Amino acid sequence: MSASLSRIILFGHQLGKLKSFYIDHFDFSVVEEIPDQWIVLKAGATELALHKVGMEYEPVNGQPFVAESNTKLVFTITDGIEAFGQRLAGQGIEIGPVRSFPGIPSLFCDGKDPEGNVFQIEQWRG
C-alpha cells in the first residue's frame, strides 16, 4: 500500500474571508465550492479545503471566531521571503520575522490567517 497527503481541511467561520486570503496571497485556485459551507483550493500537489464550523463552534455574542489548532500549514516559496512577509504585514496580516536555524538550509517566517490558523512561509536557500 502507498499513501499520500491529498487534502488538508481547515474549519472556519467566515469561509469567504479565508478563501480570499489564500487566493490573494498564495495564488491558489478554487476547485470546488458550496458557498458559505465548503471550498476546496488547489495548493500545489495538495488541496486546502475550508469547511464551515458546526453550530456548536459558532462565535457567541459577536465575538470573533479564532481557530484552536495545533497544526501549522507550511507554504514553500522560491524567493523573496523578506518582501513576501513585508507585503503580508503591510496588509494587516500577523507575520513574524524571517529566521534561520543552524543546519537547516531554509529561511522561515510564521504568520496567522484571518481566523488564527498558523502558517509558515519557507524559502529554501540554494
pLDDT digits (tens, 9 = 90+) for 107-118: 999 999 999 999
Number of Cβ within 10 Å of residue 119's Cβ equals: 21
pLDDT of residue 57: 77
Q: What's the pLDDT band for 84 if we cut at 50, 70, 90?
A: very high
CATH topology of domain 1-54: 2,3-Dihydroxybiphenyl 1,2-Dioxygenase; domain 1 (3.10.180)
Residue of 6, 2, 3 whose CA lies nearest to 31: 6
Sheet hosting strand 106-112, strand order edge to edge: 72-77, 118-124, 106-112, 94-95
Per-residue pLDDT reduced to its tens digit, 41-73 = 999 999 999 999 888 877 788 788 787 888 899
- Reading the block at residue 82, the C-alpha cell is 523578506
Rounded Cα distance, 43 and 106, in Å: 20
User: Comparing 1-54 with 70-126, is the CATH topology the same?
Assistant: yes
Contact 31, 45 (CB under 8 A): no
Contact 48, 28 (CB under 8 A): yes
Q: Under CATH, to which class is 70-126 assigned?
A: alpha beta
Domain layout of the chain by residue ranges: 1-54, 70-126
Per-residue pLDDT reduced to its tens digit, 17-34 = 999 999 999 999 999 999
pLDDT of residue 63: 81
